[in-house]
Amino acid sequence: MSRGLLSDYFTGVMYKRLAAVEVDRLRSNQHEFNGNPGFKRLLGTAPRRELTATFLYLDDERRVSGPGRLTWYDARAAHPTRTEHHLYYTPNEVVPLARAGDGFFLALRPDDEVLVIIAPAGSSVLAQLFWLFDMDRTGALELETRDLSTSPVEAGFLARMVLEELGIEAEGPGEERFDTLVEQFGLAFPSTRVFSEFARKSLGNLDPRDDPDAVLMAWIEREEQLFRRLERRIVSERLSEGFHADGKVDVDGFLGFSLGVQNRRKSRAGAALENHVEVVFQAFGLDVERGARTENNNRPDFLFPGAAAYHDPAVPAERLLMLGSKTTCKDRWRQVLSEAARIEHKHLLTLEPGISESQTTEMKDKRLQLVLPASIHASYRASQRPDLSSLRDFIDLASERQGPGGGTQPQA
């Protein structure tokens, strides 16, 4: 994909809430979704249409997918004036997980294949899908349809994060132009620190002090683009070699390689975020220690001003700060709560768009402040945004706590 637009991946999408009669086996066992005007706008009004589909169930903890087929048909095709369309689906392991009230998305791909997505009501996944498809984020609407065939929306870094949760390998616009940049690494991954520094330098002299939120996102976006190009080269070379052992196809070898690719992506993304955030803090001259030890061998990602001050009872707890760093939260945000007992109000930086209102409310109740680059705030509901902090907000707080005498000095 050279344009990197949402229309590269979808031509249209429809959302509805699932009714009990569609998913409750005690109410019906017809394997059908009720037809409605949204289906007709997306699939047309032909008497019968067969579609290849991928079914996907996503909640904040798991992902279940499987193949299937859909049949869009008019049950009253023989009637001279009436029509009654239904959407029949073949049995699969996804639909039985659904409950009445869950969100249902029917997304049509450019090749006419269909992605059926089910997400629980109130989940972060559902909120992120509303954001991705630019739908009503309150979830108040029973039915909504979007024509994406001419959408100018770019599938940027955040959108690609959500698309990959849907099993879609999304490539940013014009990433092939980075091939010459990554040639110096050959067919080997450098350390994350080396690669993060390389990504920053490739963007020239961006100064985080001008706009820390925008600069952080620019660095993250560039490193992601460069990494994917290098990864594509390395993986392509390995696949061309094939997987064989003792003259046979080495299935276990292939599966191990595939798992390694996925694990590397996740671990590298987290380390890259920490690398860039650390450089931002250095630009502002903040006293901070990365991975400092607190109680019970806990190691918060960033401790202000550092371990020595944290373990010094002469330094008031009010002068201390900690910041966890996670590219995506899901339920793992609770890990941060136990990482620094002396610090009552903790902070967590994430790049995850559209976390559900129930999750952010729980974070607030647990005295965890969510920190997001300013550009991500728009993916949250208006009711959530007053409780969000930007990276600039956090830096201002850290600077205030540090004070003119330095963060390691006890308060007079």
- Please give the positions annotated as active site: 310
* Residues shown for the chain: 412
73-78 contacts at long range (C-beta below 8 A, 24 or more positions apart): 73/47, 73/48, 73/49, 74/45, 74/47, 74/48, 77/47, 77/48
Q: What token pair was written down for 23?
A: 């998913």
DSSP annotation of 188: S
* DSSP letters spanning 239-287: HHH--EETTEE-HHHHHHHHHHHHHHHHHHHHHHHHHHHHHHHHHTT--
159: left (phi over 0), alpha (psi -120 to 50) or beta: alpha
What distance in Å separates the CA atoms of residue 235 and residue 259, rounded to the nearest whole number? 12
Regarding beta strands 346-350 and 321-326, do their DSSP bridges make them parallel or antiparallel, or are they unpaired?
Answer: parallel
Q: Which residues contact 72 (CB under 8 A, 6 or more apart)?
A: 39, 43, 44, 46, 48, 49, 51, 85, 86, 87, 88
Amino acid identity at 76? R
DSSP annotation of 11: S
Regarding beta strands 302-304 and 114-119, do their DSSP bridges make them parallel or antiparallel, or are they unpaired?
Answer: unpaired
